[in-house]
Amino acid sequence: MPKALESPNPPTADEIAELADSGEDISRFFTRKGKMMPPIQRVNVDFALPMLQELDEESRQLNISRQAVIKTLLRHALDQRHSARRAR
């Protein structure tokens, strides 16, 4: 039996959720090839105005959001810290 051609546009997450809500089997949309990501936790951080201005300037130069700059710089700092610990 030949396979049915797949739609060029896969369904959106909302469409898959609607199928699941109606009781349909949605397992065909999951390949088990991806990595499960833990839930995101929202935090509030206070910044002094000069630091916020630096972050905003970096954001403009890189053409990315302030949040992306913060995450990138924090990831870099944590990676450096882990590397330094392993080197000891």
| Tens of pLDDT, residues 20-70 | 999 999 888 888 787 878 888 999 999 999 999 999 999 999 999 999 999
Average of pLDDT values for 65-83?
96
Average of pLDDT values for 4-15?
76
pLDDT classification of 1: cutoffs 50, 70, 90: very low
**Tokens encoding 24:** 């349909």
Q: Interhelix angle for 49-62 vs 66-87, to 10°?
A: 100
Q: What is the spatial distance between Cα 59 and Cα 65, in angstroms, rounded to a whole number?
A: 6
Q: What is the pLDDT of residue 53?
A: 98
Which pTM was predicted?
A: 0.57
Q: What angle do CA 58, 59, 64 make, to 5 degrees?
A: 140
